[in-house]
Amino acid sequence: MGWLAQDDERFFPYPFLRGSNVKFGIVVSEGPYTHQASDTAYNFAKSALEAGHEVPRVFFYHDGVNVGTRLSIPPQDERNIQQQWSALGSEHGIDLVICIAAAQRRGLLDEKEASRQGKDANNIAEGFRISGLGQLIEMGIQTDRLMTFGD
């Protein structure tokens, strides 16, 4: 498409593609291993990054927060959904955010929350962090497309 005048909307009606990429915000709202949502979201994010787009943040909501525990031990010949996300996150600098209200109901705590709540352990995996719904709203504002994967 190099010969097209990319700043002329008559020939190139997608301003967001003009010499730049698309920012995708991703929401995962269903748990790993019970539903395909977290796998679909992972494959989408991976392909988007391979195509040169950006995935600045993934927001794990409802049962989706269960992706972020470092204590899951799936069989060795099976995919490890948490490790896949942690690896993709560290490779591409993705902000992996777990919703705090959803996490507390389901027993997901980071070090700070565990001590604040007087619990004897924490279980958040590498690359994930616990934060609030404000991060979901911010992602909706700061990205070009919001992709929701759930049940």
Partner 1 sequence: MATLHTVNKSPFATGALLSCIAHAKDGDTVLMIEDGVYGASSGTNVSDALTARAGSVTLCVLGPDFAARGLATDRMLDGIKSVDYAGFVELAASNDRTQAWL
Residues that bind partner 1 (CB under 8 A): 14, 16-17, 22, 24, 29, 36-37, 40, 43-44, 46-48, 50-51, 53, 145-151
Closest CB to partner 1 among residues 62, 96: 62
In terms of DSSP bridges, do strands 54-60 and 145-149 run parallel, antiparallel, or are they unpaired? unpaired
Catalytic status, residue 67: no
Q: What are the Cα distances from residue 14, in Å, to 3, 7, 139, 144?
A: 16, 10, 21, 12
Shortest Å distance, C-beta 121 to partner 1: 33
| Residues β-bridged to residue 96 | 58, 128
Classified as helix, coil or strand, 103 is: helix
Tokens of 29: 């709202």
Closest CB to partner 1 among residues 81, 130: 81
**Distance from chain centroid for Cα 125:** 14
Closest CB to partner 1 among residues 52, 118: 52
Closest CB to partner 1 among residues 25, 68: 25
Shortest Å distance, C-beta 97 to partner 1: 19
Tokens of 149: 């994967």
Catalytic residue, chosen from 28, 48, 99, 109, is 99
- Which residues does the annotation mark as catalytic? 99
